[in-house]
Amino acid sequence: MPAVNTSEVKKSDIVGMIEHHREKKGVLIPLLQEVQDRYGYVPKEAVEIIAAELDVYPVDIYGILTFYAQFHLKPRGRHIIKVCMGTACYIMGGKEILDHLKGTLGIEIDQTTEDGNFTLEVVSCLGCCGMGPVVMVDEKFYGRCDLQKMDEVLQEYGK
């Protein structure tokens, strides 16, 4: 997902997306998904345009954006690192992996590196308990992780 400079948010682009969805029931969620697909997150400027065009309060849009975990209100990195903190992964060293990544990347949970390359997230379970600790980068799983393996994974993605 590309990060976008909010000055690149064009009213005509957002209005075009609105027109694509206007006749559908429940227009807001699919519209917000399309905006996020385009920009990598839902910029404030897009919310303002959508609210004005659809005659809804911005707070109603933010209610949707903050309720559903799929939506993001700030730019995210080119690569999303998800560290499993489920019971099995945690016991097998997930916390140490998380701490190592935070230190190596210089960011906290739900933050993005200054170069925009990585966003670090924590998840409750990735469903691979037998391979713990597990880390997911974008759509790729890494099991039986240790600190050395994490350094190799970061190198693979450009750190």
Pick the CATH number of 79-156 from 3.40.50.10880, 1.10.3720.10, 2.60.34.10, 3.40.30.10: 3.40.30.10
Distance CA(51)–CA(156), nearest Å, equals 41
pLDDT in tens, the chain (159 residues): 444 444 478 899 999 999 888 777 888 999 999 999 999 899 999 999 999 999 999 999 999 999 998 999 999 999 999 999 999 999 999 999 999 999 999 999 999 999 999 999 999 999 999 999 999 999 999 999 999 999 999 999 987
Write the CA distances from 11 to 21, 57, 142, integer angstroms: 16, 18, 41
Name the pTM for this structure.
0.78
Sheet holding 135-137, edge to edge: 118-123, 79-84, 135-137, 140-142
Distance CA(3)–CA(116), nearest Å, equals 8
Distance CA(25)–CA(147), nearest Å, equals 49
148 CA to centre of own chain: 25
Domain boundaries, the chain: 6-67, 79-156
